[in-house]
Every structure is written in C-alpha cells, then in structure tokens.
C-alpha cells in the first residue's frame, strides 16, 4: 500500500461500565483470557496498525473509559504517536479530569467526545440506565467538566439520544441541555441492530407506526426546540418530523371536506 487510512475506528471491545436498556441487559466485562489476549495485541497489532493514522475512534462497542483494555490502548497509543487525535465514544460516567490525567489525555489530543446520554432528567435516566438515578449527578458533573474544557479548547462535543417510548418526552429538554453545555445533540431511533447483548424490545420501539404512542412522538418532534439544530435527526426521525399531525378535529374536517367534494362531483 502507498495510501493508508487516516481515520481508524475500533469496534471490537464490548467491555462497558453501564447497562443500558437499548444495548445490554447487564454490565459487560471481558473474561480474563480475553483481556490478556487483547492487551498482548496492543504492541503487536494495534500500535503498528495506527502508524499512518491521524484520528482514532474508540470504543464504539463498549465504553472508551469503562474498558480496561481500551484504557491501556489509549495510554500506549498516546505515548507512541504524539500527533494522533482521538474520537472518544463513552457513556460519560468515567469521562472526567481524573481519567484524563491517568491516561495522559490533553485537550489538544481530542478531536471529538461523543457521550450517550439518552435523557435530560434523573428520572428518565433511571429508566434508560441501570442504577441511572444514582449515576445521574456524576454524569451531569462530567458533562459540565467537558463543556468547560471545550470552551477553552477546540473539539467536537456530541450528546447522543436514542429515542424510545421510555425517554421521548425528554427530547425538547435534551436540546436545551445540549445548548447549555455548548454541545451538539444527535437523535437516532431505537432499532434491532443496536441491541448488542440484549433482546430487541418492540414495546419501546416508538418509531414504529403501530406503537400506541407513535403519534405522541410525532407531536414531540414538532416541538419548537426540535427545530433549533439542523441535521441532528437520523433520517427516520426526520421523516416523522416532516409528517403532518392528524389531530381528531383535523381528521373530522378532512373527512367532511372529502365527503363534500365527492357530493359536488
């Protein structure tokens, strides 16, 4: 090869410190033999793989800071490649000053921080994340830390929100939370391929047209806050936002109009 990829995305390490209803039913940890094997590959495989890279994305299968292996990978990569930048994917619970110092992460090395939040209130976060109500204050403190860090440095700060029937009412508040933190909110729909270690639950798939609260989701998507940011809805949600809402009275006048039209013709 003469041209090498500049951006490498790693998605193989499932270890995570949180259990979220959209992807796993329990906290996932690598088995000891898996951890040993992956750590051995840092020097023999991953470090050489990144020789020509400018940007590294970690860890979209688990948590960048919740995984023991990924933390070791980050630390060694930072030491080996001083110009490499990072795109971190995390739930935010361990995304703080302490872990940055421990891994030698300085703001100049950060390209993007993506934090999966899926809620704007403690109560909703408790529905989405196991023990979420206990973790929520820690999350907010860490979000404020990243927000302050971003104000002094230039990197992308993204807050992810997967829409389900458990959290859709928080969407307008989530936009305002992102505004307050100087972050960019991204909404995407709950679907089967998001479930890594748990069964797909149709009962919370509110984007489905046959879901009992589907029309309520469309109403939420028409909330003024949902138009503040551009291009932050995944295509299916964008299509739903573009739909007209059939309120009962509106349905009545539509039906009446159609009846008159057919009589006149």
pLDDT digits (tens, 9 = 90+) for 63-74: 999 999 999 999
Distance CA 244, CA 231 (A): 19
Distance CA 112, CA 56 (A): 10
Model confidence at 250: pLDDT above 70:
no
- If pLDDT is split at 50, 70 and 90, which confidence band does 247 have? low
pLDDT at 249: 53
Within a domain: 42? yes
Tokens describing residue 195: 């479930």
Within a domain: 80? yes
Distance CA 127, CA 243 (A): 28
Q: Which residue has the higher pLDDT, 5 or 252?
A: 5
Contacts of 128 (CB under 8 A, 6+ apart): 20, 21, 22, 118, 119, 164, 166, 167
Distance CA 168, CA 170 (A): 5
Which of the residue ranges 52-56, 62-66, 257-261 would you say has the lowest mean pLDDT? 257-261
Predicted TM-score (pTM) of this structure = 0.90
Within a domain: 1? no
Number of domains in the chain: 1
Distance CA 221, CA 6 (A): 37
Within a domain: 155? yes
The CATH number given to whatever domain includes residue 173 is 3.20.20
Helices (H), 119-247: 122-128, 132-152, 171-181, 214-221, 235-241
What domain range is 88 assigned to? 7-264
Within a domain: 2? no
Within a domain: 197? yes
Q: What is the 3-state secondary structure (H, E, C) of 65-87?
A: CCCHHHHHHHHHHHHHCCCCEEE
């Amino acid at each position: 090869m003469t041209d090498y990829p500049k951006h490498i995305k790693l998605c193989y390490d499932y270890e995570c410190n949180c259990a979220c209803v959209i992807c796993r039913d329990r906290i996932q940890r690598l088995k000891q033999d898996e951890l040993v094997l992956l750590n051995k590959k840092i020097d023999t495989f991953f470090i050489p793989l990144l020789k020509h890279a400018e940007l590294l994305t970690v860890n979209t299968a688990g948590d960048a800071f919740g995984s023991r292996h990924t933390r070791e990978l980050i630390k060694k990569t930072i030491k080996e490649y001083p110009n490499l930048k990072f795109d971190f994917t995390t739930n935010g619970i361990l995304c703080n000053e302490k872990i940055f110092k421990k891994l030698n992460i300085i703001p100049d090395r950060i390209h993007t921080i993506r934090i999966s939040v899926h809620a704007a209130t403690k109560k909703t976060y408790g529905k989405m994340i196991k023990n979420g109500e206990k973790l929520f204050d820690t999350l907010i403190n860490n979000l404020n830390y990243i927000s302050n860090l971003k104000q002094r440095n230039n990197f992308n700060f993204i807050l992810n929100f997967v829409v389900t029937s458990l959290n859709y009412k928080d969407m307008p508040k989530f936009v305002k939370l992102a505004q307050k933190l100087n972050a960019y909110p991204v909404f995407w729909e709950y679907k089967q391929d998001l479930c890594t270690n748990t069964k797909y639950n149709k009962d919370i798939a509110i984007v489905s047209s046959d879901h009992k609260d589907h029309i309520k989701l469309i109403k939420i998507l028409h909330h003024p806050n949902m138009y503040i940011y551009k291009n932050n809805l995944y295509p299916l949600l964008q299509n739903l936002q573009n739909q007209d809402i059939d309120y009962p009275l509106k349905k009545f006048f539509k039906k009446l109009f159609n009846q008159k039209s057919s009589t006149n013709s």
